[in-house]
């Protein structure tokens, strides 16, 4: 396994548990050292992989509520969902800081019998004809029956194996994140939380300056993860700096008050692949591609999930390797069971279900006209100025003027409804 993120460590854990000789290679000084991700992991994948997960793992909080906010220049409109079901194990979502979590998960793989080699840069693949036969790392050649590429968005191994081309700017989102430190009490009081409850909060609106993207806030135990995600091609075309977009978001009145008194302790950046399904081949002779390297990211505008897809792909890769070992055949034909295992689960099904969403998210009206429309309508509807009230539809049509045509609105609603 090359890369000790959720995919690599989950794969290594499952294979080592079955008695296979497993090497987990990580170029950082430790697993998670180079990972800036801090967000929510959704679904039961972790507790299914490790039943004692909640007693041992260094997760921050569970997601007790999810909130979505639309921001215009001077206003905000929010929708929040909270249910007692979210407080029951297995939790619907948990909030993680991957720098802590990845180190722990790689440690579990080690305890199962995998060898973890940190601080080791993989330089390329070893070939035996047209079959991958290992990796080159640290001046050595390390031979293996299978290489599992878990080396992230810019996977050099997948490219060398001819399984994918270089990502285009439209197939990548740029993310930057800051961490602000608070006391646990301040987090709980500021966000109306109790105990280990947590909030996952997504934003979209005027702060993206018309570029496809959004922002997020996640409550950790004693800090906030706050950041923005913007389509890379839009940043290039508009000659914008993503750091300026983050500053614009932080300065919005609805956000600035949440950061008051916080101590900034971390700033980092990350690329997120959103390449359409099918543009990356998932396996070949002696190699399997997982996680970000395979562009296993679900981005619907309302949801941005990746860590759970990575972990599930690592588990599926382990199943495929075990099946190949039973047959003593590590060819592409044998490793094709990987795709079957992904299809049997949620990974490929979810990606296929929402594969048309990307075109919706490039609609500029989502980031300019509609946030202004939503906030203006709410202001008109909820303001008492002493004048006679109007029907809600009258307020709505007044808010629509000079923002969006009825034709565009109806077309966007129908298009979005079909694809979401």
In a domain, 144, yes or no: yes
Contact 307, 37 (CB under 8 A): yes
Q: Quote the distance between the C-alpha of residue 416 and its chain's center.
A: 21
φ, ψ of residue 125 in degrees (nearest 5): -105, 155
pLDDT value for 123: 96
Among 8-22, 216-230, 369-383, name the one with the lowest average pLDDT: 369-383
* pLDDT tier for residue 34 given thresholds of 50, 70 and 90: confident
Domain end among 308, 325, 355: 355
Residues 195 and 238 in one domain: yes
The CATH number covering residue 188 comes to 3.30.9.90
Nearest partner of 408 among 372, 346, 364, 374, judged by Cα: 364
Say whether pLDDT at 299 is over 90.
Answer: no
Residues 117 and 215 in one domain: no
The CATH number covering residue 53 comes to 3.50.50.60
Question: What span, in angstroms and rounded, lies between the C-alpha atoms of 103 and 412?
Answer: 44
Among 117-126, 234-243, 326-335, 385-394, name the one with the lowest average pLDDT: 385-394
In a domain, 47, yes or no: yes
> What percentage of residues in the chain have a pLDDT greater than 90?
80
Instruction: For helices 307-327 and 337-344, give the axis angle rounded to 10 degrees.
Output: 140
pLDDT value for 278: 85
| Residue span of the structural domain in which 396 resides | 360-419
In a domain, 154, yes or no: yes
In a domain, 88, yes or no: no
Instruction: Pick the more confident residue, 280 or 38.
Output: 280
Q: What is the pLDDT of residues 181-213, one digit of tens each?
A: 999 999 999 999 999 999 999 999 999 999 999
Considering its fold, how many domains does the chain have in total? 3
Q: Which residues contact 327 (CB under 8 A, 6 or more apart)?
A: 334
In a domain, 63, yes or no: no
Domain end among 273, 302, 328: 273
Say whether pLDDT at 233 is over 70.
Answer: yes
Say whether pLDDT at 18 is over 90.
Answer: yes
pLDDT value for 37: 77
pLDDT value for 207: 95
Residues 45 and 113 in one domain: yes
Question: What span, in angstroms and rounded, lies between the C-alpha atoms of 400 and 419?
Answer: 24
Say whether pLDDT at 47 is over 70.
Answer: yes
Compute CA distances 73 → 63, 79, 284, 286, 379, whole Å. Answer: 28, 18, 50, 53, 13
Classify residue 322 by burial, with Cβ atoms within 10 Å: 0-12, 13-18, 19+: middle
Residues 54 and 103 in one domain: yes
Say whether pLDDT at 217 is over 70.
Answer: yes
Q: Kindly state the average pLDDT of the residues 147-162.
A: 96
In a domain, 89, yes or no: no
Residues 311 and 391 in one domain: no
* pLDDT tier for residue 102 given thresholds of 50, 70 and 90: very high
Instruction: Pick the more confident residue, 169 or 38.
Output: 169
Say whether pLDDT at 414 is over 80.
Answer: no
* pLDDT tier for residue 221 given thresholds of 50, 70 and 90: very high
Residues 18 and 149 in one domain: yes
Q: What is the pLDDT of residues 67-97, one digit of tens each?
A: 999 999 999 999 999 999 999 999 999 999 9
In a domain, 222, yes or no: yes
Q: Kindly state the average pLDDT of the residues 395-401.
A: 87
How high does pLDDT run on average in the chain?
93
DSSP state for residue 386 in the 8-state scheme: S
Question: What span, in angstroms and rounded, lies between the C-alpha atoms of 367 and 209?
Answer: 7
Residue showing tokens 């810019």: 154
Residues 49 and 136 in one domain: yes
**Residues 161-165: contacts with CB under 8 Å, at least 24 apart:** 161/125, 161/132, 161/284, 161/287, 161/289, 162/281, 162/284, 163/280, 163/281, 163/282, 163/283, 163/284, 163/287, 163/289, 164/275, 164/279, 164/280, 164/281, 164/289, 164/293, 165/279
pLDDT value for 412: 74
pTM above 0.85, yes or no: yes
Q: Kindly state the average pLDDT of the residues 365-391.
A: 90
Residues 53 and 130 in one domain: yes
pLDDT value for 420: 59
pLDDT value for 405: 85
Residues 264 and 196 in one domain: yes
* pLDDT tier for residue 303 given thresholds of 50, 70 and 90: confident
Q: Which two tokens stand for residue 381?
A: 């509807």
Residues 247 and 396 in one domain: no
Domain end among 305, 335, 355: 355
* pLDDT tier for residue 418 given thresholds of 50, 70 and 90: low
Residues 250 and 389 in one domain: no
In a domain, 342, yes or no: yes
Question: What span, in angstroms and rounded, lies between the C-alpha atoms of 216 and 402?
Answer: 29
Say whether pLDDT at 162 is over 80.
Answer: yes
Instruction: Pick the more confident residue, 122 or 359.
Output: 122
Say whether pLDDT at 309 is over 90.
Answer: yes
Residues 29 and 141 in one domain: yes
């Amino acid at each position: 396994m090359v890369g000790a993120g959720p995919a690599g460590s989950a794969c290594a854990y499952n294979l080592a548990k079955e008695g296979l000789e497993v090497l987990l290679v990580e170029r950082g000084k430790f697993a998670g050292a180079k990972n800036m991700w801090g967000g929510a992991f959704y679904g039961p994948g972790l507790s299914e992989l490790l039943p004692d997960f909640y007693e041992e793992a260094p997760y921050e909080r569970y997601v007790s509520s999810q909130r979505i906010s639309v921001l215009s220049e001077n206003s905000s409109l929010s929708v929040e969902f909270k249910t007692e079901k979210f407080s029951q194990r297995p939790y619907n979502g948990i909030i993680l800081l991957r720098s802590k979590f990845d180190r722990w998960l790689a440690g579990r793989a080690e305890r199962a019998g995998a060898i973890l080699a940190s601080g080791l840069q993989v330089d390329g693949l070893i070939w035996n004809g047209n079959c991958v036969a290992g990796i080159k790392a640290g001046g050595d050649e390390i031979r293996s029956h299978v290489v599992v590429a878990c080396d992230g968005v810019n996977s050099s191994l997948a490219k060398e194996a001819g399984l994918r081309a270089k990502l285009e700017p439209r197939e990548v989102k740029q993310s930057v994140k800051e961490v602000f430190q608070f006391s646990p009490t301040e987090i709980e009081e500021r966000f109306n939380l109790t105990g280990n409850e947590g909030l996952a909060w997504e934003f979209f609106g005027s702060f993206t300056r018309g570029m496809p993207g959004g922002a997020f806030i996640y409550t950790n135990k004693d800090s906030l993860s706050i950041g923005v995600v913007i389509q890379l091609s839009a940043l290039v075309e508009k000659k914008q700096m993503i750091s300026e977009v983050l500053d614009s978001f932080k300065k919005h009145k609805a956000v600035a008050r949440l950061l008051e008194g916080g101590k900034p302790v971390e700033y980092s950046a990350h690329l997120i692949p959103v390449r359409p399904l099918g543009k990356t081949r998932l396996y070949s002779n002696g190699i399997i591609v997982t996680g970000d390297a395979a562009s296993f990211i679900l981005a619907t505008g309302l949801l941005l999930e990746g860590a759970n897809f990575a972990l599930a792909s690592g588990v599926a890769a382990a199943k495929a390797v075990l099946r190949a070992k039973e047959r003593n055949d590590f060819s592409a034909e044998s490793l094709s069971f990987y795709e079957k295992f992904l299809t049997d689960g949620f990974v490929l099904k979810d990606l296929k279900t929402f594969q048309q969403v990307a075109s919706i998210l490039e609609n500029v009206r989502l980031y300019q006209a509609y946030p202004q429309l939503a906030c203006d309508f709410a202001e008109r509807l909820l303001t008492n100025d002493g004048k006679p009230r109007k029907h809600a539809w009258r307020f709505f049509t007044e808010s629509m003027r000079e923002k969006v045509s009825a034709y565009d609105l109806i077309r966007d609603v129908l298009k979005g409804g079909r694809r979401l």
